Amino acid sequence: MQLAMTETNTTNISTASEGTPSSQVDEKSLLPETEGKKLGVLSRVKRTMSNLALRLMARGEGGQANGDNGGADSENSDGAEKAEETLDDETLQRIEEIEEECDFYTDLLMGYRNSDIINAFIYCEYEKIEKFIPNIREVVASDSRLNPESEETDDRYYDLCYAETTLSRLIQDNIAAFFSEHYERMPKFTDRLRHTMRDMLDSIRSYFDNSYDTHELAVKLMNAERVLPKEIIEDLRDTIINEVARCMKVQWHDFNKCVDWLGSHGFPPEYWPRDAREQKDFPESLRSRILAGDEIEREFFDLEIIDYFVRSTADIHGGDESVLTNPDIVRRSYLIEEYLAGRWPDIAPKVFINGHEDEDSCSALINTIYQIGEANAKKLHEELGITHFGDWSPETLKGTLKLLETGCTESGKPATIIVRGVTGDHNGAASGYRNIKSADTFAVEINHTSDLSDVVAKLERVGVDSNTFDTVVLFGHGSEKHFFMSSYEKIPPNHREWYNKKGMRSLIETLEIDTIILNSCHPLVQEKRFETLTVGNKPQQRRGTAPALSQAFPQIQVISGLDGTVYSGIERTGNMQITTRDNTGGESSMTAVTKNGLTRAHREEVKIHE
């Protein structure tokens, strides 16, 4: 096959008789048939001479020892002869051709586009491609994105970018497989490859301001390193790793490919923050990006890595990269937890062990910690149990810190305490509190209501008094039989049980709280004597967690949903919208207020901050 290559450094690869000794016969007098026979003979002679030369080279590798042993008695010599005998004329001819056309084959192996091969593919001239991809016809037949005759293809130019990428990879793999087996017999091609890779590394440094050229070269280096024998590139390996890491930019379309490649070369991404601090051989360009530089850039970088973890632990649906299916949640959680624990080693690892199943929750957590700082995050966790940083706004946590340190709010107005469990939020309902942007908010996460006694003691030490707080939002999951403060504590709807909770009693009585917003399902029990999802304007004696709380602490009013499943959200006004749904699908946005065991209708929006 003869191709006129236009985008690579090539020569005519079909001149097999080049360098043949001149004949004493007048070639002009030869008939075409005679001339063809002569050329065929000369070609066979040339291949035979090449074969003989290679065998002699193999025999000569043993040096004087081979001569002393007479050749026939040498085990190494016999092995070399046997190895050479397996090289048929076709293999030897290909070795010779690659050596003669090393520039052309170097470009192909490095992944440079060749327009002649692409054109041959477009026009289905597969015989011109079989030299580089022997099974090209089978490949096309089995892949509808390459087959212009497929029913799934609109026209023959469908997805040409995919075709070029696929052809380039297959050609690389074919040449690389042959080269890996015979590279010791191709010194010229080997030297050319080494020289080209060094040139590419130099170009990456000189083109660093041109992101397109830099990224293109980085991809070619990764692909070349993937297919070449390790003996060829061993001395360049560390340099290649560092340059690939240096080229890797956030939001670059090959970002994930770089992460994969670096991971396969001894630098798994889940350990990057840790290894950047501890490993001496860690790529310097990547180390500085992780540990130094602008905080905003570090945050963007972390978010891109989280996106990589999300995508690498799921399947892509139908080639649409925006649709992910079958996520491996266990693997994903592990990767994210390891990365974040390495990023913020001073924060207790349990902060990151929350089963982050989606990218949004991880992004919120990362954003919050960056905005409040690692030291403050550590303090909030140790002092107030804050674990779900992504469920709180930075404004809320900054306000919490001020109250914890000074005992007063920035505005001077009374603050609202939000109490939730460290565990037990099985559906992420508490994440809605992130929409509260007021600094007049004090966040607390507990395992048990008894933890509240320590919280109150800390507030008292900084001068909190009866005017500092007026409202408590009590978040948990609930049924008609229990309120679940966390996975470790469930409280029945009994006023004595609630009053005996010393932490709750300390919080309400010491801080002189006057309102509890009970954010839980089934705060009222469905009773036959009352119509579902209704509550009158006149006080009613109802049963449930809300009435039990109000009876345990008669000085407070309890605002809640009704007798059903409760959904809540934070409005732009900062108020809470509580909706109750019954088992028939009916809904009501009315809330109830219960005081001293008597319940009546309240209103449709609940003010968190008065």
Q: What are 353-387's pLDDT values in tens digits?
A: 764 556 788 899 999 999 999 999 999 999 999 99
pLDDT at 211: 64
Say whether 316 sits in a helix, a strand or coil. strand
For residue 32, pLDDT over 70 is answered with no
For residue 217, pLDDT over 90 is answered with no
User: Nearest Cα to 421, choosing from 440, 401, 454, 443?
Assistant: 443
Contact 214, 252 (CB under 8 A): no
**Is the sign of the CA dihedral 536, 537, 538, 542 positive or negative?**
positive
Which phi and psi (to 5°) does residue 279 adopt? -95, 125
pLDDT at 201: 86
Question: In the numeric block, which tokens belong to residue 506?
Answer: 């300390």
Q: How many CB atoms lie within 10 A of CB 411?
A: 12
Task: Determine the distance from the C-alpha atom of residue 167 to the mean position of all C-alpha atoms in its chain, rounded to a whole number.
Answer: 27
Q: Is residue 257 part of a domain?
A: no
Q: Is residue 495 part of a domain?
A: yes
- 578, containing H or E segment: strand 576-581
For residue 65, pLDDT over 80 is answered with no
For the chain, what is the domain count?
A: 1
Q: What is the DSSP letter of 350?
A: G
Residues 293, 297, 303, CA angle at the centre, nearest 5°?
135
Q: Is residue 438 part of a domain?
A: yes
d(CA 403, CA 443): 10
Q: pLDDT by residue (tens digit) across 81-118? A: 444 557 888 899 999 999 999 999 999 988 888 889 98
Of 74-83, 119-128, 358-367, give the lowest mean pLDDT range.
Answer: 74-83
> Which is higher by pLDDT, 559 or 159?
559
CA atoms within 13 A on the CB side of 249: 14
Question: In the numeric block, which tokens belong to residue 294?
Answer: 């602008």
Q: Is residue 244 part of a domain?
A: no
Which phi and psi (to 5°) does residue 388 adopt? -90, 70
For residue 3, pLDDT over 60 is answered with no
pLDDT at 66: 41
The 3-state secondary structure of 70-105 reads CCCCCHHHHHHHHHHHCCCHHHHHHHHHHHHCHHHH
CA atoms within 13 A on the CB side of 578: 29
In the block, residue with structure tokens 């009866």 = 466
- 195, containing H or E segment: helix 187-206
Q: For all residues of the chain together, what is the average pLDDT?
A: 83
Question: In the numeric block, which tokens belong to residue 573?
Answer: 């006004």
d(CA 53, CA 47): 10
Q: How many CB atoms lie within 10 A of CB 387?
A: 23
Which residue type occupies 360? D
The 3-state secondary structure of 116-168 reads HHHHHHHCCCHHHCCCCCCCHHHHHHHCCCCCCCCCCCCCCCCCHHHHHHHHH
Which residue type occupies 587? E
With bands split at pLDDT 50, 70 and 90, how would you rate the model's confidence at 63? very low
Q: What mean pLDDT comes out for the span 220-224?
A: 84
Which phi and psi (to 5°) does residue 524 adopt? -120, 150
Q: Is residue 137 part of a domain?
A: no
Q: What is the DSSP letter of 185?
A: G
Q: Is residue 366 part of a domain?
A: no
Question: In the numeric block, which tokens belong to residue 84?
Answer: 């050479």
pLDDT at 72: 39
Q: Are strands 557-560 and 515-519 parallel, antiparallel or unpaired?
A: parallel
d(CA 191, CA 196): 9
d(CA 472, CA 387): 19
Q: Is residue 191 part of a domain?
A: no
Q: What mean pLDDT comes out for the span 47-70?
A: 45
- 322, containing H or E segment: strand 320-325
Q: What is the DSSP letter of 26?
A: -
Burial class (CB in 10 A: 0-12, 13-18, 19+), 42: middle
Report CA dihedral (105, 110, 116, 118) to the nearest 10 degrees: 140
d(CA 374, CA 397): 12
| Domain that residue 569 falls in | 392-607
Q: Is residue 595 part of a domain?
A: yes
